[in-house]
Amino acid sequence: MKKKIGIISLGCDKNRTDTEKMIGRIVSDFDITVDPAAADVIVINTCAFIESARKEAIEEILSAVELKKTHPEMKIVVTGCLPQRFLSELTAELPEVDAFLGVSDYGKSVEVLKRVFDGDKVFSVGEPKDERLTDRVRTTCNYAYLKIADGCSNHCTFCSIPIIRGKYRSVRKEDLLEEAEKLGDVKELILVAQDTLKYGEDLTPKSNIVDLIRGLSALKNVGGIRLMYCYPENITDELIHEFAVNPKIIRYMDIPFQHADAGVLKKMGRKGTRESYLDLINKLRERVKGIAIRSTFMTGFPGEDDAAFDNLISFIKEAKLDSVGFFKYSREEGTPAYDLPDQVRESEKTKRYKKLYAAQKKVVGENAKKAVGSTVLTLAEGFDEEKTIYYGRAYFNAPDVDGKILFFSSEEVKFGEYVRVKIRGAAGYDLYGDRV
Provide the residue ranges of all domains of the chain, joining segments of one domain with +. 4-124, 143-370, 372-435
Contact status, residue 292 vs residue 251, Cβ threshold 8 Å: yes
Q: What is the pLDDT of residue 134?
A: 79
Q: What is the pLDDT of residue 361?
A: 94
pLDDT in tens, 78-126: 999 999 999 999 999 999 999 999 999 999 999 999 999 999 999 989 9
Contacts for 97 with CB less than 8 Å, ≥ 6 apart: 61, 65, 76, 77, 78, 90, 91
> May I ask the CATH class of domain 143-370?
alpha beta
Model confidence at 1: pLDDT above 90: no
Model confidence at 405: pLDDT above 90: yes
Contacts for 286 with CB less than 8 Å, ≥ 6 apart: none
Q: In what order do the strands lie in the sheet with 75-80?
A: 31-33, 4-9, 41-46, 75-80, 99-101, 122-124
Q: How far apart are CA 19 and CA 138, in angstroms?
A: 9
- Return the half-sphere exposure (C-beta side, CA atoms, 13 A cut-off) of residue 288: 24
Alpha-carbon dihedral angle through residues 152, 155, 161, 167, given to the nearest 10 degrees? 40
pTM of the model: 0.96
For 372-435, CATH number out of 3.30.360.10, 1.10.3720.10, 3.10.20.30, 2.40.50.140 equals 2.40.50.140
Nearest one of 272, 249, 244 to 260, comparing CA atoms: 272
| Percent of the chain residues topping a pLDDT of 90 | 96
Model confidence at 211: pLDDT above 90: yes
pLDDT in tens, 135-159: 899 999 999 999 999 999 998 999 9
> May I ask the CATH class of domain 4-124?
alpha beta
